[in-house]
Homo-oligomer: A and B are copies of this chain.
Amino acid sequence: MRGSRSEQTAQSAADAGARTTIGFVGLGRMGSAMAASLVAAGWRVVAYVRRPERLPELSAVGINPVSTMDDIADCSIVISMLPDDAAVADVVSGLTRRLARGAIHLSMSTISPQCSTDMAAVHAHYGQAYVAAPVFGNPDAAKARELFVVAAGASDHVARCRPLLDVLGQKVFVIGADPAAANLVKLAGNVMSAAAMETMGEILALARKRGLDPELLMTILTATMFGSRVHRIYGSKIASRHYTAGGLVLPLALKDVRLALAEADAAAVPMPSISVVRDRLLTGIAMGHADLDWSALGLVAAEEAGLAENATKEE
């Protein structure tokens, strides 16, 4: 009789864990949740943490925090989950000098394809491997191990990371040998999400000004043509004007839009609907909403339609 998925995964993780301690760099909200999931699945995780005030919280869920990168030098796989290209480049310069030949840097951040290509080259120079595996999903999804993972790298390196990825994601897409491709998929998904929020924002502002209940409209749209996760999650936030602080805040969404537009620039691909998103994110930041989740694109659309939204913002 077969055990449940989680029991099986935990067992195989534990088997693998017997052979491997996982290094982790980047213990923000996403990283912490992911590292905790690995621990829960039976892995030993050693996390490089710069801020000592984080130690108790991380230790409490079974993560082993260390204060110098030297302490993760023995790991054969090091996961990074960092905010941007610069942070990844900084960590890579610390890792390359310490990791053994043959070690794998499993890079799960949302960064530019070019950065992934460059980092892979740097690691290769040191005889180390680089696997890109960005994820779709927020910290709640990370806790629930319901992320979607898009992985790319040399097939044997991806295979070595696979048990970890299977723990973290509800589904893992392995898309080939070029790490940059995985990062491009992630950027594509993020800007497509942002564009969907922009359009919903515009349409819900129109609905409100024409006396049509925005929540009713969103209910109909998601029940018919727009049943996707993005439309259900963010459409309902915009329709109910439930703009929360935190999450993928506007400047982080802008970062991804900027990276996608830089790809488009390099490839000579006009992306007018993404340019609109860019300008609306800038407006949102200029109007003082930099601390809000990217669903605040709906707030910007409402404000530009002359709908005062002050009362509805939730901190």
User: Contacts A223-B171, A225-B136: A283 and B304 contacting too (C-beta < 8 A)?
Assistant: yes
User: Contacts A191-B203, A217-B185, A275-B278: A171 and B224 contacting too (C-beta < 8 A)?
Assistant: yes
Taking the complex as formed, is A245 at the interface, i.e. its CB lies under 8 A from any CB of chain B?
no
Beta-carbon contact of A270 and B279 below 8 Å: yes
Chain A, 265-297, CB within 8 A of any chain B CB = 265, 267-280, 282-283, 285-288
Beta-carbon contact of B207 and A184 below 8 Å: yes
Q: Which of B193, B258, B306 contacts A268 (CB 8 A)?
A: B306
Taking the complex as formed, is A181 at the interface, i.e. its CB lies under 8 A from any CB of chain B?
yes
Residues in chain B near residue A178, CB distance under 8 A: 211
Comparing A43-51, A65-73, A156-164, A228-236, the segment that makes contact with chain B is A228-236
Q: Which of B171, B211, B224 contacts A189 (CB 8 A)?
A: B224
Chain B residue, CB-CB nearest to A264: B206
Beta-carbon contact of B209 and A203 below 8 Å: no
Residues in chain B near residue A254, CB distance under 8 A: 265
Beta-carbon contact of B193 and A212 below 8 Å: no
**Chain A residues packing against B (C-beta within 8 Å):** 113, 136, 148, 150, 171, 173, 175, 178, 180-181, 184-185, 188-189, 191-193, 195-196, 198-200, 202-203, 205-207, 209-212, 216-217, 220-231, 254, 258, 260, 263-265, 267-280, 282-283, 285-288, 304-306
Please provide the 9 A-B residue pairs with the shortest distance between their CB atoms, ordered closest to farther. A286-B306, A228-B228, A270-B279, A275-B275, A209-B267, A268-B286, A269-B305, A148-B224, A195-B199
